[in-house]
Copies of this chain bind each other. A is one copy, B any other.
Amino acid sequence: MSTESRANSDDLHATVTHRLRHDDQRYTPQRRALVEVLAASDAPLTLPQLLERSQGLAQSSAYRNLAVLERAGVVHRIVTTVDHARWELAEDLTEHHHHLICRDCGTVADFIVPNEIERRLDSALADAALVAGFDATHHRLDLVGLCADCR
């Protein structure tokens, strides 16, 4: 999930620059800070967590920039419970993964499913989508329960 899964972080920033430019947006220091914090994390982060880890960022700017980054396909917002949403880098900047969601503290951790299962799942989902006349772009598989800390 982290920058390790890419050749190096220059690649990441080059890609982000490119995607933002495609949307007529600049890759400002603040946006870069957000991307770096997300790249360094092995789990999706809430807004308070993002603010804490990128000192000196105003809340309104964080929300605004996350929206810009989301529109450009750089970050992805996930909503698990009623409180804060969480953000992570878009899947094609990391790798396809799923989430362990703790129903007690709300923490989200990443995990990966074996390739073969993933492939079979995809084909089953494609069938289901076809039947429903649904144009599926991606799937979302979460495991809900109690994390090690909350058990």
Contact = CB atoms under 8 A, between A and B. Distances in A.
Count of this chain's copies in the oligomeric assembly: 2
Contacts of A80: 79
A134 B117 CA distance: 20
Contact of A138 (B114, B134, B144): B144
A135 B147 CA distance: 6
A132 B148 contact: yes
B100 A129 contact: yes
Contacts of A81: 79
Contact of A139 (B102, B131, B133, B144): B144
Contacts of A103: 137
A146 interface: yes
Contact of A120 (B102, B120, B133, B141): B120
Interface of A: 77, 79-82, 85, 98, 100, 102-103, 109, 111-114, 117, 120-121, 124-125, 128-129, 131-148, 151
Q: Which 3 A-B pairs have the closest CB atoms?
A: A136-B145, A133-B148, A135-B146
